[in-house]
């Protein structure tokens, strides 16, 4: 097979979690204005979908960029087990101090996964909070694992 450059593959997993969107430096009125119903003091839940895309060369011995079974395990070990059926503000230590918006979750999940998908490299993280809302992160210069393939 002729090498044509990096190939991308994507694994999708889902988990259920609750969260509360609020900024502790805001007063109650500002939190209500900015976050609306998502500022419910008891939180609210979502059925999240996490899509993780990795890129790399096809291994001529396996025909794979990375074994999807291994990628599934990394996603479970580094994100899903910690977040599934949890309150993201209260139960996930590595999210402490983070406003758990879809945007911030995408960046946090990237941080948990970057470097753990060898021999591939992390290419994109997408967090679907609902059918209508999704955040996508492709890394930054500080991540050292993003950018174009």
Q: Domain ranges in the chain?
A: 7-137
Closest C-alpha to 125, from 50, 56, 74: 50
CB 110 within 8 A of CB 143: yes
Q: Residue 4: its pLDDT value, please?
A: 56
Q: Which residues are the active-site residues?
A: 38, 85, 129
Which pair of structure tokens corresponds to residue 75?
Answer: 């996603």
With a CB cutoff of 8 Å and minimum separation 6, the contacts of 2 are none
Q: Which of 122, 107, 112 is nearest to 56 (CA)?
A: 122
**Residue 12 φ/ψ, nearest 5 degrees:** -115, 130
Q: What is the pLDDT of residues 63-120, one digit of tens each?
A: 999 999 999 999 999 999 999 999 999 999 999 999 999 999 999 999 999 999 999 9
Arithmetic mean of pLDDT over the chain: 92
* Cβ-based burial of 134 (10 A; exposed 0-12, middle 13-18, buried ≥19): middle
pTM for the full predicted model: 0.91
> Greater confidence, 3 or 130?
130
Outline where the chain has alpha helix (H): 28-35, 68-75, 81-83, 102-113
> According to the CATH classification, is domain 7-137 in 3.30.479.10?
yes
């Amino acid at each position: 097979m002729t090498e044509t450059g990096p190939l991308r593959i994507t694994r999708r997993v889902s988990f259920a979690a609750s969260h509360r969107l609020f900024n502790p430096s805001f007063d109650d009125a500002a939190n209500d204005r900015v976050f609306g119903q998502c500022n419910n003091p008891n939180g609210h839940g979502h059925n999240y979908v996490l899509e993780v895309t990795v890129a790399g060369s096809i291994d001529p011995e396996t025909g794979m960029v990375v074994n999807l079974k291994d990628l599934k395990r990394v996603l479970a070990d580094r994100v899903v087990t910690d977040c599934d059926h949890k309150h993201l503000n209260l139960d996930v230590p590595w999210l402490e101090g983070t406003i758990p918006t879809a945007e911030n979750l995408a960046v946090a999940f990237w941080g948990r996964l970057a470097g753990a998908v060898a021999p591939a490299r992390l290419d994109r993280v997408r967090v679907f909070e609902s059918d209508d809302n999704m955040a996508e992160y492709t890394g930054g210069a500080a991540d050292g694992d993003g950018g174009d393939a």
